[in-house]
Amino acid sequence: MIHLQHKLPNFLRPRTINTNKQHYHHHHRLNYKLKFSAMADIDTAFIQAPEHRPKPKSTAAENIPLIDLSPALNPPPDSDNSLSELTAKIGRACKNWGFFQVINHGVPSKSREKIESVARKFFALPKEEKRKVMRDEVNPFGYYDSEHTKNVRDWKEVFDLAVEDPILFPASHEPDDTELKALSNRWPENFPEFREACEEYTKEMEKLAFKLLELIALSLGLPKGRFNGFFKDQTTRLRLNYYPPCPAPHLTLGFGRHKDSGVLTILGQDDIAGLEVKRKEDGEWILVRPTPDAYIINVADIIQVWSNDEYESVKHRVVANSEKERLSIPYFLYPSH
C-alpha cells in the first residue's frame, strides 16, 4: 500500500510546511488548497488566496505613531501650545497612517481589565451556551462564530452589542423604505457581570471617542464641536473579538483585510500582536506591536468623507497565531443610521 504522505513532496509533509512564496505558485491552486487543508485539518472556507496570506515574517520595524493625550485631558498651564502641538500630531498621524495609538487617554484600567476578564470567560463557555445568544437574520447583535470577510471565513469568534439599546435601524436595505426597526442587545444568561462590564466600558469609550472627534475636528481647522451633532440615535457598536489558536496561520487570517465603515474606531488589543495595518507610503503590511494600556485609533470611512479625503480610511487585517489566543475589543463610533 502506498502511503500518501510519502508521495508528497517534502514541503507538503506535515511539520515541514514551508511558506516560501515560490512554492505557492508552482502548484495548481485548488489542489494545493485541498492537500494543505487536509493536512492542517482546517475547513477550506478559511483559506486565503495566496496574495492575501500573511508574509512569513511580519514587518514591525516601525510602529504607528504613539500620541500622549494628556494635553487634552489634563491641560498643563501652557495648555494652548501643547494642545495645538497635540492636534498637529493627530493631524499628521491621520494623514500619513490613518492609524495611531494613544496613551494617557483617561479610560480607567479597571474598566478595561473587567471587560477583558468577562470576555475571556464568555468565550471559554461551551459552544452550546454561546450559541444561546447567537446573532440571527433579524438581529445582528450577540455571538457569532462564522464571520466571512471578502468571502473567506475569519479565524475568530465575536460578540457584538449596540451602545444605544434598543437601537434603531432601517427595516430593509431598500433606499425608499423609511420604516425603522428597533433591535435589542442579547446578554448571556446568569452572567450579570458580563453586561455590567460591557455597559461600564462603553461609557468610558464614548467619552474618549468624543474627545478624539473634537481633536480631529481641530486638526482639520474646524471648530471642535463640528461633528458632535450627528450622534442622536447613534448606531455605535462594541465588539469583542476572540481569536483562538490556529493550526495553519500561514494560510488563514484572524480577520481578513477590510476598512472600518464608521466614523472612527478605538481598539483595545491584549498583549498578543496580530493587527496589521497597510502602510500608506508603500502598501506594506505593518504589525502593530501592543503597547501596554494604549488604545489604537483609526480613521474610518465617514471621517474620510467629512475630511474631504484629507484623512483616508486605511485597510487592516489580523494575522492568526498557532499557539496563543488573542482578544481585542473595538468600539466603532457610528452616527445615526
Ligand X SMILES: O=C(O)CCC(=O)C(=O)O
Chain residues in the site for ligand X (CB under 6 A): 239, 241, 255, 260, 267, 269, 274-275, 316, 318, 328, 330
- Distance in Å, CB of 115 to ligand X, minimum: 14
Quick check: 224 and 216 in contact, CB under 8 A?
A: no
> How far is 266 from 102, CA to CA, in rounded Å?
10
Question: How many other CB atoms are there within 10 angstroms of residue 244's CB atom?
Answer: 15
Nearer to ligand X, 35 or 257 (CB): 257
Nearer to ligand X, 130 or 317 (CB): 317
- Distance in Å, CB of 325 to ligand X, minimum: 12
- Cell numbers representing residue 180 in the block: 425603522
Nearer to ligand X, 39 or 198 (CB): 198
> How far is 196 from 185, CA to CA, in rounded Å?
13
Quick check: 149 and 46 in contact, CB under 8 A?
A: no
- Distance in Å, CB of 62 to ligand X, minimum: 18
- Distance in Å, CB of 99 to ligand X, minimum: 11
Nearer to ligand X, 83 or 272 (CB): 272
Nearer to ligand X, 121 or 239 (CB): 239
Nearer to ligand X, 39 or 161 (CB): 161
CA-angle at 97, arms to 324 and 56, nearest 5°: 40
- Distance in Å, CB of 97 to ligand X, minimum: 15
Nearer to ligand X, 142 or 330 (CB): 330
> How far is 104 from 114, CA to CA, in rounded Å?
19
- Cell numbers representing residue 164 in the block: 444605544
> How far is 325 from 155, CA to CA, in rounded Å?
11
Q: What is the CA radius of gyration of the chain?
A: 22
> How far is 120 from 219, CA to CA, in rounded Å?
37
Distances (CA, A) of 298 to 82, 203, 218, 282: 22, 19, 17, 18
- Distance in Å, CB of 251 to ligand X, minimum: 19
- Distance in Å, CB of 157 to ligand X, minimum: 12
- Distance in Å, CB of 239 to ligand X, minimum: 5
Phi first, then psi, for residue 336 (nearest 5°) are -70, 165
> How far is 319 from 52, CA to CA, in rounded Å?
11
Nearer to ligand X, 42 or 318 (CB): 318
* CB burial of residue 118 (10 Å; 0-12, 13-18, 19+): buried
